[in-house]
Amino acid sequence: MKLPGHDAIARQADEHLVTHRVNLPRRVVERPLRQVTKRLLMALMVLIVTALIVYADHDGYHDNADDSVGLLDSFYYATVTLSTTGYGDITPVSDGARLINIFVVTPLRVLFLIILVGTTLEVLTERTREEWRLNRWRSTLRDHTVVVGFGTKGRSAIRTVCATGLKKEQVVVVDPSNRVIDAATAEGYAGVTGDGTRSEVLRRAEVHRARQVIVATQRDDTAVLVTLTARQLNRGAKIVAAVREEENAPLLKQSGADAVITSASAAGRLLGLSVLSPAAGMVMEDLIHQGSGLDIVERPVTKAEVGRGPRELDDLVVSVVRGHRVLGYDDSAVGGLELTDRLITIVRATPGTHVTPDVRRLPPQ
């Protein structure tokens, strides 16, 4: 495998270095900038209305500077009045002007303060609420799934896993692009902006407490570094990685990946199969689309099935997982099924069909 040198990797990491922050999914009713703009326009409207009211009755006001109140003086008076500064250089002297100040200007002043103070309080409340959500998320997140890279591969992988019953709250996406993380949070996943090859970024994704890690980066060398870092932080997690070139798969396994998928070779084999047999290609395409048509699922052996052969079951058994070995349905070593075995079967997809996760400890790396 041709990996770039250490200096090149360091330069690449510096180029993609961004603020490592956690983004939790939320439903945004209105954009913050639009909210602030709307409130500023409302405050400006209140100021203009107040100035016009004062100018309409400018004869009832006295200016200590030149005894006359013009349009500019009206805006000045409205500004210092609404902001409760009140220098006292322009004052209402007539009964009508004072009544207008009591019943019109004062309510406008209160409305102006409500708009400004309300905006400040809303910002502070939102920050406090977001901090509380983040702390609560960190304290409750356990046995989750971390997806490093939310491109086509990562998105398809996590959608397939979620189709089998995994909750979106149990998924954390890691990607250096803010735009990608925004897309992930819009779909209901938590997101961490940052380079997945850095341990501090993966710690923010709580990878040390994750059950499984999906590595779906765009580059094979990046996938190797992410796998090494993730395995260092979590010795027991199941790590599945995707690579483009088949020659890099052994290096991924040496780095700590439990399973390596060669995307280019898999796509090529599916293309070749579709050429040789379009029907077989359609069946394979159906099998890899979880939740529709035929699905490949893994399930434990029931007590009623113990001692029976794979061909004697109602389900179409493809393989038997015994210990850390995967045996074919026709392997003579299978014999009778054991209670600790797990079955890889092909079933008709239904809403209740799901893959039972393998919770056994992985063998030492």
What would the pLDDT profile of 197-239 be if each residue is shown by its tens digit? Answer: 999 999 989 999 999 999 999 899 999 999 999 999 999 999 9
User: What's the pLDDT score for residue 361?
Assistant: 40
Structure-model confidence comparison of residues 126 and 153, the more confident one:
153
Alpha-carbon separation of residue 216 from 64, 155, 281 (angstroms) = 73, 9, 24
Confidence of residue 32 (pLDDT cuts 50, 70, 90): low
Return the pLDDT at 217. 92
Separation between Cα atoms, residue 22 and residue 62, nearest integer Å = 57
pLDDT score of 224: 93
CA 61, CA 66: separation in Å to the nearest integer?
12
Nearest-angstrom CA–CA distance, 298 and 318: 10
Inform me whether the pLDDT recorded for 5 exceeds 60. no
Q: What is the mean pLDDT of the chain?
A: 79
Contact 214, 258 (CB under 8 A): no
Q: Is a pLDDT exceeding 80 seen at residue 83?
A: no
Q: What is the reported pLDDT for 50?
A: 87
pTM: 0.57
pLDDT in tens, 44-65: 888 898 889 888 888 888 888 7
Q: Which long-range contacts (CB under 8 A, 24 or more apart) does 134-140 make?
A: 134/22, 134/24, 137/22, 137/24, 137/190, 138/206
pLDDT of residue 10: 45
Mean pLDDT of 22-26: 67
Position with higher pLDDT, 260 vs 362: 260
Stretch among 254-263, 271-280, 290-299 having the lowest mean pLDDT: 290-299
Per-residue pLDDT, 31: 58
pLDDT band at 291 (very low <50, low <70, confident <90, very high): low
Question: Please, what's the b/e burial string for 252-287 (b: 16 or more CB within 10 A of its CB; e: otherwise)?
Answer: bbebbbbebbbeeeeeeeeeebeeeeeeebeebeee
Residue 9 is predicted with a pLDDT of 44
Q: Which residue has the higher pLDDT, 355 or 268?
A: 268
Which pLDDT band holds residue 159 (cuts at 50, 70, 90)?
Answer: confident
Tell whether the model's pLDDT for residue 316 goes beyond 80.
yes
Question: Is the pLDDT confidence value at 309 over 70?
Answer: yes
Alpha-carbon distance 310 to 164, whole Å?
24
Nearest Cα neighbor of 203 from 242, 232, 180 is 232
What average pLDDT does range 85-108 have in this prediction? Answer: 78
Closest to 159 in 3D by CA, of 141, 176, 174, 147? 147
Q: What pLDDT is attached to residue 17?
A: 43
Residue 15, pLDDT > 50, answer no
- More confidently predicted of 69 and 146: 146
Contact present, 230 and 213 (Cβ < 8 Å)? yes
What mean pLDDT comes out for the span 301-306?
Answer: 89
How does 1-19 read in b/e, with b if 16+ C-beta sit within 10 Å?
Answer: eeeeeeeeeeebeeeeeee
**pLDDT at position 360, please?**
44
pLDDT at 156: 86
238 versus 41: the higher-pLDDT residue is: 238
The helix-helix angle for 263-276 and 278-288 (nearest 10°) equals 140
> What is the structure's pLDDT at 171?
92
C-alpha 238/C-alpha 228 separation (Å) is 13
**How distant is the alpha carbon of residue 84 from its chain centre?**
45
pLDDT band at 279 (very low <50, low <70, confident <90, very high): confident
